[in-house]
Amino acid sequence: MAQSRKTLPFVLLAFASVGLAQEKPNPAGPAHPPWKLQGGYRVLDLSRVPIVIDQPGRYAIDRDWNVHVVEPGTLIHIVADNVTVDFRGFAIAFDNQGEGIGIDGDAVSVRNGALMGNLFVDSLRSDGAETTIDNMRILGDIAIRLRSDRARVRNSSLGGRFGSVLGGDSAVAEGNVFRCSTSFCLEVGNGVRVSGNHISTGVDGAVDVRGNRNIFADNIVDFIGAVAPVAFSVTGDGNLLRDNTVLVSGLDSSDVVFSVAGTANVLDGNISVPQTSARGGVGISFAQDGNFHGDNRLGGVSEAIRENGTTQTAWGGTVAF
């Protein structure tokens, strides 16, 4: 992901406010794994980070932690397949350079808690297939960077200075809140389904659709105050944007709600909702031939469609109001 040279304040929650206990690293030896068996879980002892999880099974924490590793690296590195890490309502705060949780195994689930990193780390990175993030609150430079296929992100709050990345194929993001300050708040790869999320806007925009065959449906996007030139940037092909709601205000003549530079994309039934009586900018701007649009109701803009000399297929109903 390209990182903007612009910076905006990015406020993480004060770790002291959640009463986290400071611990010093005490790496585990091979004869003494950094967990204890309790209630069918391996309960992690984070005073012994960095920890490598190399056995499948169920892991948990049973308290709040404030930890870091001295050298750049990964706090918890999951290399086994079929692993569940259940935070059970607790939080891990960390400030080491590197990663909070790094996943290289397949079918790994992280759920039910908070992972709070500083401004210069990926809080959660995965190169394993079928990663699931569920009911988590994650903060960091990049909140999540999921690069392999069939990831699932549900019911979570994700705040990254440079947003979140769903870079693998066939990911699903449902019922989440995405926030950022710099770059885009959400970047997607190919075949991703993004539905029912609330997505904020960073310096570059809200959503960066770089790949192909993605579906964005029933999301709410904050494009208020014109902090970025575009809400949705679509540079891939064959994407469907349907029934999304974009909240707009403060748009000037160069601002665009939906910028479409790919081809065979479909924009159907989207709406931009003005938060003030002022109008400005463009609802949908095209840069290539061969896209399709209809039934988009675009409020708060001066111009509904700007084709820029391209040829598009319209079935009607795309209007400014």
pLDDT tens for 214-273 read 999 999 999 987 679 999 999 999 999 999 999 999 899 899 999 999 999 999 999 999
pLDDT of 316 > 80? The answer is yes
The pLDDT of residue 208 is 97
Q: Are residues 188 and 99 in the same domain?
A: no
The pLDDT of residue 226 is 65
Of the three residues 88, 122, 143, the one that is the final residue of a domain is: 143
Longest dimension (CA), the chain: 69
**Of 13-27, 39-53, 206-220, the least confident:** 13-27
Beta-carbon count within 10 A of 73 CB: 15
In a domain, 139, yes or no: yes
Average pLDDT over residues 198-222: 97
In a domain, 48, yes or no: yes
Average pLDDT over residues 27-41: 79
Q: Are residues 194 and 138 in the same domain?
A: no
Q: Are residues 321 and 193 in the same domain?
A: yes
> What is the Cα gyration radius of the chain?
21
Look up residue 70 and give its two tokens.
């001295």
**Of 62-76, 202-216, 280-294, the least confident:** 62-76
Q: Are residues 261 and 201 in the same domain?
A: yes
Of the three residues 143, 163, 197, the one that is the final residue of a domain is: 143
Beta-carbon count within 10 A of 33 CB: 18
Return the ∠ at Cα 54 (arms to 83 and 71), rounded to 5°. 110
Q: Are residues 232 and 277 in the same domain?
A: yes
In sequence order, the β-bridge partners of residue 186 are 164, 207
Q: Are residues 139 and 188 in the same domain?
A: no
In a domain, 229, yes or no: yes
Distance, CA of 123 to CA of 130 (rounded, Å): 18
In a domain, 173, yes or no: no
Beta-carbon count within 10 A of 132 CB: 18
Q: Are residues 238 and 129 in the same domain?
A: no
Contact in structure between 262 and 286 (CB atoms under 8 Å): no
What percent of the chain shows pLDDT beyond 90?
80
In a domain, 172, yes or no: no
In this prediction the pTM is 0.88
**Of 11-20, 35-44, 240-249, the least confident:** 11-20
The pLDDT of residue 122 is 85
Per-residue exposure over 157-194, b if at least 16 CB sit within 10 Å of its own CB, e if not:
bbbbbbbbbbbbbbbbbbebbbbbbbbbbbbbbbbbbb
Q: Are residues 77 and 189 in the same domain?
A: no
pLDDT of 11 > 90? The answer is no
Average pLDDT over residues 133-150: 96
Report how many domains make up the chain: 2
Residue 289: domain span? 180-321
Short-list 211, 220, 110, 109, CA closest to 170:
211
State the average pLDDT for the chain.
90
Residue with tokens 């809400």: 231
- Would you call 61 helix, strand, or coil by DSSP? coil
In a domain, 275, yes or no: yes
The pLDDT of residue 225 is 77
Distance, CA of 191 to CA of 212 (rounded, Å): 6
Residue with tokens 């391996």: 42
Q: Are residues 207 and 98 in the same domain?
A: no
Q: Are residues 198 and 289 in the same domain?
A: yes
- Per-residue model confidence as pLDDT tens digits over 260-307: 999 999 999 999 999 988 899 999 999 999 999 999 999 999 999 999
Q: Are residues 126 and 189 in the same domain?
A: no
In a domain, 134, yes or no: yes
- Would you call 17 helix, strand, or coil by DSSP? helix
The pLDDT of residue 21 is 42
Q: Are residues 134 and 189 in the same domain?
A: no
The pLDDT of residue 70 is 78
In a domain, 158, yes or no: no
Average pLDDT over residues 121-142: 95
Per-residue exposure over 246-262, b if at least 16 CB sit within 10 Å of its own CB, e if not:
bbbbbbeeebbbbbbbb
